[in-house]
Every structure is written in structure tokens, then in C-alpha cells.
Amino acid sequence: MQTGKPTGARDRGGEARPRRYTVAGQAAEAPRLPPGLYLVATPIGNLRDITLRALETLAGADLVACEDTRVTRKLFDHYGLSAPLIAYHDHNAATARPKILDKLAAGGAVALVSDAGTPLISDPGYRLVRAAAEAGHPVTAAPGPSAALMALTVAGLPTDRFFFDGFLPAKETARRARIAEIARIPATLVLFESGPRLAATLADLAAGLGARAASIARELTKLHEEVRRGDLAALAADYAAGAETRGEIVIVIAPPAAEQPSGADIDALLRAALARTSVKEAVAEVAAATGEPRRAVYSRALALTKDRNGAPDQT
């Protein structure tokens, strides 16, 4: 592998430390990073899913902010990384954030990681990004694994539009209210859930969303990776009956079925269009808006103009 600065390069604070990482037994040296905040995606399970750019960024950083230093230390030990770690999570963000901003203000390079996957997805990192950007510090990302995106891609459901809603509320009343709020979103839904709540959440989703197709992705990239597919009611029954719920879980749900417009709806749209344009243009407009066959819309338009004028207007 190519190497960067020599081992023992000094940090901006004067501290000498190796900026190394190791892959498959081969050691590499990372150059010191330019000042700024770096958002680094880490594996969601399989440690081999990390990118070379992520390793180089973590090795070259002056400081790495992470949710749990014990979790990130396992990744560091696996790849021979030695950058200093600082905890940054929901419970200490108010006190840890100023320290990170001070490091950036002193010209340091700080990497931000979550316990697994892409930072800022269902964690407090966005406040740090906002504060760093407002202070004028460069912010960039080393992209990589994401449980939400992996679950979406293996679900076998539409991917052209999706809505990520993180964890639903833990309490039943609040959870059902939130399900009602997202029920009409015209996109595939992506949710996180914990094992102990999965059966109850699926039951509420089946009651609130109806017989939609869905998938449950569990332990993605790990030894016991599993993806179950079916409608919400069937999946709810599976997990109520004791299907395995250990591990990290992502629920992916198909978008609502498009409602077919009624004849009255089409007539109302046609009347509005015919009041300002020709039959031909009105038909094209309404057919595009409703997805109805052009011939069927044309027949209704002719009937409407005949009723209005006594004879069809085909202009």
C-alpha cells in the first residue's frame, strides 16, 4: 500500500503518534487531514464493510467523536487505529460539543462516527454539523454503510421515493397516532425498531396501514442476517408467535395504493379544464393528472360538452 507522512508525525498540538491503519495484515500510513469536520460511515455489522477512505480519515484525524468509545474502540483495535476518542451522544452533547468546536477552531481535523452506519441518521450529530458550519469550518463526509438504505434495497419494494421515520414512539397511544400521520405519505416507509417492541409495532402498523407489503430486515451484514417479506398482518402474526427478534431491526413498508379517481372527480377536473382550453388539451391534461386511459377521458369530455352545448365540441 502507498504510504503518506512518516510514522510519528506530530499532531497540531505537538503530540507525536503514528497515523497508521492495517488492512489484511498490511500496514498503511495516512496523511494528516486538512482542518475540518469529517462525517465517517462505519460498518453496521461486518467490519469488512468499511471503506479505505474511512480508514484513512480515521487514521489521519486529530480527534474522533463517537457515540460510545467502547464500541468504536473495537473497530480501532481491528484496524490498528490510534486517534484519540471523545464521547459525543444525546446525553453529553451540550458539554462535548464546545470541546469539539474548540478543537476545530484550533485548526484540528475531527471525525464524527456513530456506533454503526452513517452518522446523523437517528443520532444527534446534526447539531454539531450545524454549529461547525455556522462557525465557518469545512464539513465533508466519507460515505458508506447505512442500515436504512440496505434494508430498503433488499426489501423488494419501490425505491423511487422513500420516507425514513426512525423509531416510532414506544408508547402505544403515541405510536398509533404517528402511524396515522404517516399513513398517507406516497412513498415507501423505512422505520427502525427494537426487538422487544417489534410484535406490538407490527400489530399497530397492520391496523393503521392495512394489508400493505412489507419486509423485516434483521442483523444486516451479520452472521444471522435475515429478511422476512409478507403483508403487515402476516408479519405481525409471525412475530406475535415468537419469530426471532434479537438484533438490529429495520421495517420497510410499501407505499399506499393509489386511489382510483371516481367518475365525478374526473368530470370536475374536465369541467375546470374545458372552461379554459380545448377538448384535446383538456383530455391530455386530465389523463396525465389521473392516470386514466386517454380514450376514456375523451369519451367523458365529449359527453360533457354535448350536455353543455347540445352537440359535442371536438375542437
Residues 39 and 110 both lie in one domain: yes
Average pLDDT taken over every residue of the chain: 90
For 239-259, write each residue's pLDDT tens digit.
999 999 999 999 999 999 877
Grid cell at residue 245: 427478534
Are 90 and 29 members of one domain? yes
* Pair (207, 276) in one structural domain: no
pLDDT of 107 over the 60 cut:
yes
Whole-number pLDDT of residue 106 = 97
Q: What is the percentage of the chain residues whose pLDDT exceeds 70?
A: 92
Using N-to-C axis directions, what is the helix angle for 93-105 and 125-134, rounded to 10°? 40
Domain ends where: 91, 122, 145?
A: 145
Residues 294 and 246 in one domain: no
d(CA 302, CA 314): 7
Cell of 54: 474511512
Does 223 map to a domain? yes
Q: Is the distance from CB of 144 to CB of 41 less than 8 angstroms?
A: yes
The answer to the question of residue 13 being in a domain is no
User: Are residues 174 and 99 both part of a single domain?
Assistant: no
For residues 219 and 201, give the distance between their C-alpha atoms in angstroms, rounded to a whole number: 18
Total domains in the chain come to: 3
Look at residue 2 and tell me whether its pLDDT is greater than 80. Answer: no
What are 37-86's pLDDT values in tens digits? 999 999 999 999 999 999 999 999 999 999 999 999 999 999 999 999 99
Q: What local confidence, expressed as pLDDT, does residue 287 receive?
A: 84
Provide the pLDDT for residue 293.
87
Assess whether 190 and 291 both reside in one domain: no
CB 221 within 8 A of CB 154: no
Please give the pLDDT value at position 48.
Answer: 96
Considering 221-235, 276-290, 294-308, the range whose residues carry the highest mean pLDDT is 221-235
Q: Say yes or no to pLDDT of 302 above 60.
A: yes
For the cut 60, the answer to whether the pLDDT of residue 312 exceeds it is: no
| pLDDT for 123 | 79
- The domain boundary, picked from 125, 145, 165, lies at 145
Report whether pLDDT(98) > 60.
yes
Q: What's the pLDDT score for residue 108?
A: 97
pLDDT at 263: 86
CATH number of domain containing 61? 3.40.1010.10
What does DSSP assign to residue 15?
-
Are 241 and 162 in the same domain? yes
- pLDDT for 5: 39
Domain ranges, residue 77:
20-145
Residue 1 belongs to a domain = no
